[in-house]
Structure 1
Amino acid sequence: MKNLVLIINEKSSYGRHLGTTLLSVLKNSKEKWNIFIIYKNLSEETKIKLNKIIESYRSKVNYIEINKKDLDRFKVGEGTHLSSIVFARLFIPELLKNEERALYLDCDVVVLKPLEELYNMDLQGKSIGVILDGKKDQKSSLNRLNLSLDRTYFNAGVMVMDLKKLRENGKFLKTIDYCLNPDRELQLNEQDALNIIFENDYMTNNIVWNYTHGNTEENSYIENEIGIIHFTGDIKPWDCRSYSPYKHLYWKYLNETPWKGFEEENKTLKNILKRELVKFKLKTRKIRYALKGKK
């Protein structure tokens, strides 16, 4: 079986978001999966619900509790919605010491196509397989890190890992050391560090396998062409304020899990009006860009 890894610190109802991601994976897969859930906090009630989803698709689950002391050493970037659990992905090669390859997914993604194609991507001797951020986001991150604009910047929310190679070259351990250096200012935490440490040691795949907010604004793939929707940013699809054109997909899969029946968070008239205003502005901006391009 192929190995799928997710990480979770069960707060802000992330148990149900993980369940939604898992269901979207399994429902659209051709094969069974060997699933590893690395967690800091996870209730027995949530495990029972996750097991129900996984067992219904005849897949296997392994729960791995990460040492809280390992995570407490890290400093989380200021001004972000992230927590120290994001650093848990740096321990994956050692936690899965008997496995040779794994696919890592964030818990704020919805999978629309079989992941086997992504899992089997040819890494051509590189340590990891990733998908690049949108061009605007890449430029912003490279400038923030004072890196050459000739480089590229990837999103770490979807990664194919050659675990054997990573254990041999120790690059995730080097990334941990880089993150722990008190002189480092890493706004996007281990993602920034991974981009620095893994320069020229990653293969890229089509953006449809990690279709982020930035990629949504810059491209026009239709829904049935996309493999993974990644709801990046601090406003998620379960929040009323979200204006993502794909938020309905989150709710579609959520309502097929044991968590069905939940409603949008922060649902007020003020937030609804603000959301619709943002959607209108984005729509008119895209029209202006399209008209400008025709001139």
Structure 2
Amino acid sequence: MHPIAIAFCADKMMESALHVAMRSALVNLKPGCCPHIYAMVEHFSSADRARLARTLDATGRKYDLTYLEPDPDMFASLPALHGNRSCYFRLLLPELVQEDRLLYLDSDILIRCDLSPLFELDMKGSALGAIVGGTAEFTLDKELRLSLDQSLTDPAFNSGVLLFDCLMWRRQQLLKECVRFGLEYRNEIRVVDQTILNVLFATSCIHLPNQYNTAITSRSEHIPSEAVLHYIGSPKPWDLGAASLLPYAKAWFLELRMTAIPLRRRIPWLTLSTWRRFPKILGGYRRLAVQRMQG
């Protein structure tokens, strides 16, 4: 089995989510595992980093934690997501770590299964593994994919869980290829890094088992008991009122209670950043309301 190496990228707005994702990944690994955890964070103070270490230390599990410092100018010419380009940082990860294999996880997830089997998987020479959740026909970038002579029946994946063969990624200089494509099609890209990764790798990536990226929406049903729960879209569990709107949001808050995040910041109604985020995600609440009216 390859050494277990898991990476996360987050900014200050996602601090609570990062604690939940990182803690739940650690405690669900099989006994005896000592993962190397990599964190690429923005605007985290030394106190924030110490708090994250307290969350992990409290599990009683062994781990190594390394902070990675990205070059923020590398992606300055690529399209932003809500004014932020940190979504591209995951493309840098295989270049920055001295690992054979690396698992990238979004922060808006809750892990309820052992991730170590992914480090035993035969990637068959592919540089990337992902969980295919549909086809290009139902993606926001389908017009771009058609213009590139790709088929609407080609696979499509969410980029929130990615398994990198770092050696192959570096050998094939795939970071440069991603940046080159992003610059050439910057005006057509709809879902930032996810568009780039799907166009370049959807037909060649290794398909990982579905349990490792299980989408949680207002309509989610029959979720496996052992899975990586991914709260895609908005609202997220920590948004205003979402605890009563989203399935498995309460499970996220139960995990949050086990972290070193202060009590006052575990309550969305008392968090200023949550109120600032609210106007930006009103569309998500509207979609939830429409879905409920449609039954």
Band of TM-score, shorter chain: 0.7 to 0.9
Q: How many Å separate the matches in 2 of 1:283 and 1:130?
A: 34
> Match for 2:200 among 197, 200, 214?
197
Residues 213, 231 of structure 1: 8 Å contact kept: yes
TM-score by length of 1: 0.82
Taking the aligned partners of 1:202 and 1:63, their CA distance within structure 2 comes to: 27
Which range is displaced more, 65-74 or 248-257? 65-74
Matching residue within 165, 169, 174 for 1:171: 174
Alpha-carbon separation, structure 2, partners of 1:167 and 1:278: 42
Deviation at 1:284, TM superposition (A): 6.3
Matching residue of 1:62: 66
Matched residue, 2:267: 263
More displaced, 145-154 or 179-188?
A: 179-188
Post-superposition offset of 1:83: 2.2
What is the match of residue 111 of structure 2?
111
Residues 2-36 of structure 1: per-residue CA shift (max 9 Å, x gap): 100111222x2x12211111111111111221011
Q: Summarize the Cα distance change of 1:27–1:279 in structure 2 as closer, same or farther, 3 Å threshold.
A: farther
Task: Please give the per-residue CA displacement for 1:169-224, whole angstroms capped at 9, x wherever unaligned.
Answer: 1123201221123654212101100111114320112322111146x74x743351
- Between the two proteins, the alignment pairs up a number of residues equal to 270
Greater CA drift, 180-189 or 55-64: 180-189
- Residue 78 of structure 2 corresponds to which residue in structure 1? 74
Q: Which residue of 2 aligns with 1:20?
A: 20
Bigger Cα displacement from structure 2, 39-48 vs 175-184: 175-184
Q: CA deviation at 1:120?
A: 2.6
Percentage of matched positions with identical amino acids: 22
Contact 2:111–2:227, Cα closer than 8 Å, also in 1: yes
Alignment RMSD, CA only? 2.8
Alignment partner, residue 46 of structure 1:
48
User: Hey, what does 1:83 align to over in structure 2?
Assistant: 84
CA gap of 1:114–1:176, structure 2 versus 1, over 3 A, is same
Contact 2:145-2:199 at 8 Å conserved across structures? no
Segments of structure 2 that go 5 or more residues without pairing to the other structure are 276-283
Deviation at 1:264, TM superposition (A): 2.4
Paired amino acid for 2:209: N
The CA deviation at 1:260 is 4.9
CA contact (8 A) 2:137 2:153 kept: no
Deviation per residue, 1:215-256 (Å, 9 max, x gap): x74x743351x4101111132110124322011121011110
CA contact (8 A) 1:178 1:184 kept: no
Distance 2:240 2:143 in 1: 30
Q: 140-149 or 158-167, which moves further after superposition?
A: 140-149
Q: Label 1:185 to 1:23 Cα distance change in 2 as closer, same or farther (>3 A).
A: same
| Alignment gaps of 5+ in structure 1 | 268-273, 286-295
TM-score (ref. length: structure 2): 0.82
Q: Judging changes above 3 Å, is the alpha-carbon distance between structure 1 residues 126 and 182 closer, same or farther for their aligned structure 2 residues?
A: closer
